[in-house]
Structure 1
Amino acid sequence: MHVTVFGGNGEVRPDTESLRTWGEIGLPVEPSDENWWSLGPTGPCGTDSEIHVWSGDGPPTGTPHSDPRWVELWNHVEMRYRRLGDGRLEPLPRRVVDTGMGLDRLVALVQGGRSVYDTDRFRPWRRLLGERWQLDEQLLRMVCDHLRSTVVLLGDGVRPGNTGRGYVPRRLIRRVLTTLWRDDDSRSLSELPDELVTGTLRHFRLPLDTPVRQVLRDEQRRFGDLVRRGRRVLGRYRGRPLTDGDLHYLHDTHGLPGDLVRELHVPG
């Protein structure tokens, strides 16, 4: 293992206490100005310790900053501050430690993989979908991740919709379809193998009678109709770039989301 801690910046001093503590435990440790966690532009934030594990085949070499085979597995965030709207940091009245570990990353490391896509949970997805759809590695990973996540959401009772949690599976499905249809619009989610659906539902102990195929079929039909309508409407805008006003009009009047419009639009 190898640890990195906050090395300081113009606002906050180096986390010398964590540096000393990890060293006393006997782990190699180095400071880094990247060891800072925040919830967003404003809100709770603070320094963190990041625990990395070696994923290479041979003995460990270098550090997490010099060798990508060091994989961050765990971190400890010391919530010491609140970032205000004007950019200033305000000390929190009560400090806490927020700690988290990547379970999928742990599985990958235990199974000797370089990423979560090398685990026994993803290998069947990559193999079977890779045989059906010729995609580069990055797109194949995205399709596997999105479809697997969709199966879990459907099994947990979430149904696609335009608002709330229902928007999550709808976005996932439509991003997959946009990717699949980019090179071949005959591709269909009906090609999703049964063993991937049932295996995922069984693994997460979800109802095996979840109507995954019916939902995917309905969503594909809806999205196909939307794409065809979008192509007709966007024909009026061919040859010129779209403005923000155009995007708002296409969304509010025709129900065309911005990412789909950008995918279909031919500016020149």
Structure 2
Amino acid sequence: MNTEDVIRTFVEYFEERGHRRTTGSTLLPPPGDPVLFTTSGMHPLTPYLEGRPHPLGNRLVNVQRCLRTTDLEEVGDLTHLTVFEMLGTWSLGDYEGPRSLSWGYELLTEGFGIDPGLLHATVFGGDDQVGLDTASLEVWQERGVPVELTVEDNWWDNGPTGPCGPDSEFFLWTGEGPPRSTPTRDDRWVEVWNHVMMRHRKLPDGSLVPLPQRNVDTGLGLERLASLLQGRTSVFECDVFTPWRRLVPPLWPLDEATLRLVCDHLRSAMVVIGDGVRPANTGRGYVLRRLVRRLLTALWRDDPSRTVGDLPDELFLHTRDHFRQETGLDEVRRVLCEEERRFLGLLERGRQVLARPRFRGPLDEEDFHYLHDTHGLPRELVVNLRQQ
């Protein structure tokens, strides 16, 4: 199954069960939203989870592109991406957790053909405010799926306040031989699908009050699921990265971890630019700038002559078409190349400043502040330059 097959199977399954497909928005939240980028499929639906009627009804399904900077340091491993797509379903005060979990189990085992013996579940074990999620536990026990009870790992919230609730997660065994241990004790169990029973609102003092309606919010990473269904050990080996793995290594010989980071950050930067963001020193523009500088730092580690201007058109077109964007190829390439030239100038200025006698010894906080405020040299860049 390629990713388009996965999307079609997922959406049609839930449409047959009364869900209406919503249009996946861009990475940019609506005006006035304090979050820089959409981080999950539920983010644009927050008002409806809190009780506002949705124009399409109370059963929804969609495919939402997301960006998470919280995972930035983990990009380059087998499972994390900066920009990714999230398959999601919602019950807005309609059905509850057991039905959602039963449908999820059926789709994974019958729709996607996953061996039930390779599944493990986790369930919220209860704390001093909310008890054990017995309804979810019973679903798994009836199907013979092993269950691990946790507390913090199975409680979902989107910040210090707002909608929250216990969740139950599906894990798939990716190791050789029969499954062993549990998801919290063996990382060969890979999280596939999270079902959140969103029933509470967290207040600033940490207390919980009931939401006006009892919701279910589920999220399933498209690239992660596709890689597992395709028998791959890494999200970077699923079909959406096929052109990257074919075209980048002959252009830039890189070790595997660096190849993953460079491909991820380049692809993510293309998507962010395609959604209308331009490099800047604050906000969304700074996230884009940081992505470009991180990939260039990795790219130039072995060969400073490498340039994003060498990238073939196919990678720009593939990314634009996959994410159904309209920004022209030349515009995306122009923004990347301009940012590369700007970074080259900053590096040269940084080397000259750091060569001064004042900065040859250990740097303290006052030095870092001075270098940033006076010369525009961020801490991360200063540290990298001193390591060269």
Shift of 1:80: 4.6
Find the aligned partners of 2:311 and 2:327 in 1 and give their Cα distance: 16
Aligned counterpart, 2:208:
90
Q: How does 1:120-139 map to 2 (within 5 A)?
A: 120-139=239-258
Aligned counterpart, 1:252:
373
Shift of 1:12: 4.7
Kindly provide the amino acid, as one letter, of the partner of residue 351 in structure 2.
Answer: R
Q: How does 1:163-174 map to 2 (within 5 A)?
A: 163-174=282-293
Q: Pick closer, same or farther for the CA change 1:79–1:183 going to 2, 3 Å.
A: same
TM-score (structure 2 length as normaliser): 0.61
CA contact (8 A) 2:140 2:147 kept: yes
Q: How does 1:139-178 map to 2 (within 5 A)?
A: 139-178=258-297
Kindly provide the amino acid, as one letter, of the partner of residue 244 in structure 1.
Answer: E
> How many pairs align?
266
Find the aligned partners of 2:133 and 2:362 in 1 and give their Cα distance: 49
Find the aligned partners of 1:214 and 1:260 in 2 and give their Cα distance: 23
Find the aligned partners of 2:167 and 2:321 in 1 and give their Cα distance: 37
CA contact (8 A) 1:107 1:119 kept: yes
Find the aligned partners of 2:361 and 2:137 in 1 and give their Cα distance: 56
CA contact (8 A) 2:121 2:147 kept: yes
**Residue number among 173, 188, 192 corresponding to 1:54 in the alignment:** 173
Find the aligned partners of 1:84 and 1:232 in 2 and give their Cα distance: 51
Aligned counterpart, 1:231:
351
CA contact (8 A) 1:126 1:141 kept: no
**Residue number among 176, 183, 188 corresponding to 1:64 in the alignment:** 183
Aligned counterpart, 2:133:
15
Kindly provide the amino acid, as one letter, of the partner of residue 27 in structure 1.
Answer: V
Report Cα offsets for 1:23-42 as digits up to 9, x if no partner: 23443322123222232355
Kindly provide the amino acid, as one letter, of the partner of residue 254 in structure 2.
Answer: L
Aligned counterpart, 1:220:
340
Shift of 1:226: 0.6
Find the aligned partners of 2:180 and 2:311 in 1 and give their Cα distance: 42
Kindly provide the amino acid, as one letter, of the partner of residue 133 in structure 2.
Answer: D
Find the aligned partners of 2:129 and 2:365 in 1 and give their Cα distance: 37
Range with greater deviation from structure 2 (107-116 or 77-86)? 77-86
**Residue number among 149, 161, 178 corresponding to 1:31 in the alignment:** 149
Aligned counterpart, 1:197:
316
CA contact (8 A) 1:154 1:210 kept: no
**Is 1:105 paired with 2:234?**
no
Range with greater deviation from structure 2 (68-77 or 16-25)? 16-25
Structure 1: tracts of 5 or more residues without a match: none
Kindly provide the amino acid, as one letter, of the partner of residue 340 in structure 2.
Answer: Q
Report Cα offsets for 1:180-235 as digits up to 9, x if no partner: 22332222112222222222223333347332322222111100001111111122
Aligned counterpart, 1:3:
121
Range with greater deviation from structure 2 (60-69 or 193-202)? 60-69
Shift of 1:85: 5.2
Find the aligned partners of 1:24 and 1:130 in 2 and give their Cα distance: 48
Counterpart secondary structure, 2:317: helix
Q: Pick closer, same or farther for the CA change 1:151–1:259 going to 2, 3 Å.
A: same
CA contact (8 A) 1:155 1:210 kept: no
Kindly provide the amino acid, as one letter, of the partner of residue 309 in structure 2.
Answer: S
CA contact (8 A) 1:198 1:208 kept: no
Shift of 1:115: 2.4
Find the aligned partners of 2:223 and 2:339 in 1 and give their Cα distance: 29
Q: Pick closer, same or farther for the CA change 1:133–1:35 going to 2, 3 Å.
A: same
CA contact (8 A) 1:55 1:113 kept: no
Higher relative contact order (CA 8 A, sep 6+): 2
Q: Pick closer, same or farther for the CA change 1:170–1:26 going to 2, 3 Å.
A: same
Identity %, equivalent residues: 58
Find the aligned partners of 1:203 and 1:68 in 2 and give their Cα distance: 30
CA contact (8 A) 1:239 1:266 kept: no
* Structure 1 vs Structure 2 CA RMSD: 2.7
Find the aligned partners of 1:90 and 1:32 in 2 and give their Cα distance: 19
Find the aligned partners of 2:255 and 2:148 in 1 and give their Cα distance: 37
